[in-house]
A and B are shown apart, each in its own frame.
Chain A
């Protein structure tokens, strides 16, 4: 059974940094692109970023709203994807979902809440 479990969310002040983790199981992690999608409270879905598998170069794509501030990475030996979030803004407040897939997302984690507030 495919499982994606996010961790690392919490309350953080504007301008600070936070790192989210996504622990994957139930599939060959290294064969798949991984991504992050967020959802602000009461709002719709916003794609954040994804990272391709090493077989496709391990390259990354970012939404304009986070480019230059967020960095996605992966550790295939541990089956974990990371989202390093720097220079956080209040508008980054959202539930962050880890997803499998570089185009459509066929599996989603339960999400971790990030609240950026002073």
Chain B
């Protein structure tokens, strides 16, 4: 199974500042034939189901604010919130869908400093 490891486990950022979450996979999730990274990011607020934020490592889901961006390739990926807003407080998960079983990172909790 592909192991997804996120860092840090939690971070506190001031309003308006940048938040950066890392995700590392134990195997490349880049499919060479189409040059796509099979990596998604989700946001989960307390008491709510997860919400898709980014797919194909860097494609923002419709309706997601452009302060959210995804980057990286192969085994190393980053979710960046360029200017943290109060409504961005949540746990964020990365997920690979390159190889079954799909696997999630352990989650990163983002809070306001």
Contacts and interface: CB of A to CB of B under 8 A. Distances in A.
Interface in A23-56: 37, 44-47
A46 B44 CA distance: 14
Nearest to A100: B52
A54 B64 CA distance: 31
B49 A108 contact: yes
Interface residues of B, number: 22
B49 A110 contact: yes
Contacts, number: 52
Q: Contact size class for A?
A: 20 to 34
B104 A45 contact: yes
A110 B49 CA distance: 6
B20 interface: no
A115 to B, nearest CB: 18
B97 A63 contact: no
Contacts of B55: 103-104, 106
A64 interface: yes
Interface string B63-91: 00000000000000000000000000000
Contacts of B101: 47, 61-64
Interface of B: 1, 38, 40, 42, 44, 49-52, 55, 61, 93, 95, 97, 100-107
22 contacts: A44-B93, A44-B106, A45-B95, A45-B104, A45-B107, A46-B104, A47-B95, A47-B101, A62-B101, A64-B101, A97-B50, A104-B40, A104-B95, A105-B40, A105-B50, A105-B52, A106-B55, A107-B52, A108-B49, A108-B51, A109-B49, A111-B49
